[in-house]
């Protein structure tokens, strides 16, 4: 079907280190969609729709600045603001809508230069209050594993303070993909969250099997968020009130700093 777009079956794991240890693990899947391939995928896949209703669907208005039909243009504008080379494909690791519903805590954009080099990564973080912030970070070096960092600027969880820093360790999509986020406060490591998945072709057969293997997965994501929150509350983990974002949708350009691993 496609050499770039793909289906990744895997596991998401969260491990809280303090003040109470807590761990969760769920089987999930993500799609890797090349934004240039979306029209072709829409035509060739019966179970997948681009900006239309389908069993599995990807709506551009769910991402970026929320405007339909211009997601790649929005990504390139953000890359240009950050002085990151553009011209190559943009591939998005994302939960699709399933029967019209989705919640994406994190969407990752792999942005390539015209030469094919991975030039930048966008981390689009969303919370359950309808707020979204995208961190735009250049990729330094040529190694397989990408390490980046930035300050946390969006309220995400009632059990994590705002004064935190993210450290990303990413293995870009290939036969497998891995996105690991270490979150630390002023006293050190607080939480580690990771998704690791194995590549499968993006086809109707694979999507049909996913309906059986991951029933109502996108509903399970939001359900798991509230269930795990109840467990943390029961364990007595301190609660931090929601600090509303100044803007519902915002972007942070992160300038790379060799010593600090990137800083906002």
The tens digit of pLDDT for each residue in 166-206 reads 999 999 999 999 999 999 999 999 899 999 999 999 999 99
In a domain, residue 247? The reply is yes
Per-residue pLDDT for 1 more than 50? Answer: no
In a domain, residue 205? The reply is yes
Could you give the percent of the chain with pLDDT greater than 70? 96
Q: Which band of pLDDT confidence, cut at 50, 70 and 90, is reported for residue 218? A: confident
Per-residue pLDDT for 259 more than 70? Answer: no
Q: How many domains does the chain have?
A: 1
CB neighbours of 65 closer than 8 A, spacing ≥ 6?
A: 74, 249
For residue 179, the model assigns a pLDDT of 98
Per-residue pLDDT for 260 more than 50? Answer: no
For residue 193, the model assigns a pLDDT of 95
Q: Which band of pLDDT confidence, cut at 50, 70 and 90, is reported for residue 264? A: very low
Structural domain range at position 80: 6-253
CA–CA separation, 142 and 198 (whole Å): 22
Taking the CA of residue 221 as centre, how many other CA atoms within 13 Å lie in the half-sphere pointing to its CB? 22
In a domain, residue 171? The reply is yes
- Residue 192 CA: distances (Å) to CA of 75, 179, 196, 217, 263: 27, 11, 13, 22, 19
**Rg (Cα) of the chain, in Å, rounded?**
18
- Residue 181 CA: distances (Å) to CA of 34, 36, 71, 115: 23, 28, 24, 28
Per-residue pLDDT for 45 more than 90? Answer: yes
Neighbours of 119 (CB within 10 A): 21
CA–CA separation, 134 and 136 (whole Å): 6
In a domain, residue 262? The reply is no
Helix (H) or strand (E) holding 206: helix 204-213
Entry pTM: 0.93
In a domain, residue 264? The reply is no
Pick the range with the lowest mean pLDDT from 66-70, 213-217, 218-222.
Answer: 218-222
Per-residue pLDDT for 23 more than 50? Answer: yes
Segment 15-36 shows an average pLDDT of 90
Could you tell me whether strands 176-185 and 165-171 are parallel, antiparallel, or unpaired per DSSP bridges? Answer: antiparallel
Intra-chain end-to-end CA distance of the chain, in Å: 39
In a domain, residue 259? The reply is no
For residue 256, the model assigns a pLDDT of 67
In a domain, residue 83? The reply is yes
Return the higher-pLDDT residue of 260 and 192. 192
For residue 233, the model assigns a pLDDT of 73
For residue 141, the model assigns a pLDDT of 77
Per-residue pLDDT for 146 more than 90? Answer: yes
Rounded mean pLDDT of the chain? Answer: 91
In a domain, residue 263? The reply is no
């Amino acid at each position: 079907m496609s050499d770039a777009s793909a289906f990744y079956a895997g596991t998401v794991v969260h491990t809280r280190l303090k003040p109470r240890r807590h761990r969760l693990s769920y089987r999930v899947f993500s799609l890797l969609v090349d934004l240039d391939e979306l029209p072709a995928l829409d035509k060739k896949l019966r179970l997948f729709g681009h900006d239309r209703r389908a069993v599995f669907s990807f709506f551009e208005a769910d991402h970026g600045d929320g405007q339909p039909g211009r997601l790649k243009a929005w990504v390139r504008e953000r890359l240009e603001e950050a002085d990151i080379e553009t011209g190559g494909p943009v591939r998005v690791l994302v939960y699709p809508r399933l029967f019209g519903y989705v919640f994406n805590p994190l969407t990752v954009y792999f942005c390539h230069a015209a030469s094919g080099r991975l030039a930048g990564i966008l981390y689009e973080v969303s919370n359950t209050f309808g707020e979204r912030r995208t961190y735009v970070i250049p990729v330094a070096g040529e190694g397989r594993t990408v390490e980046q960092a930035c300050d946390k600027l969006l309220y995400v969880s009632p059990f994590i303070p705002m004064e935190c820093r993210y450290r990303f360790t990413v293995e870009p999509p290939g036969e497998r993909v891995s996105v690991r986020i270490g979150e630390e406060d002023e006293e050190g490591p607080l939480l580690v969250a990771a998704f690791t998945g194995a590549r499968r072709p993006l086809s109707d057969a694979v999507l049909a099997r996913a309906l059986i293997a991951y029933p109502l997965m996108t509903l399970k994501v939001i359900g798991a968020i509230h269930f795990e929150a109840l467990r943390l509350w029961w364990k007595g983990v301190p609660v931090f009130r929601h600090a509303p974002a100044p803007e519902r949708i915002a972007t942070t350009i992160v300038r790379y700093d060799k010593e600090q691993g990137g800083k906002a």
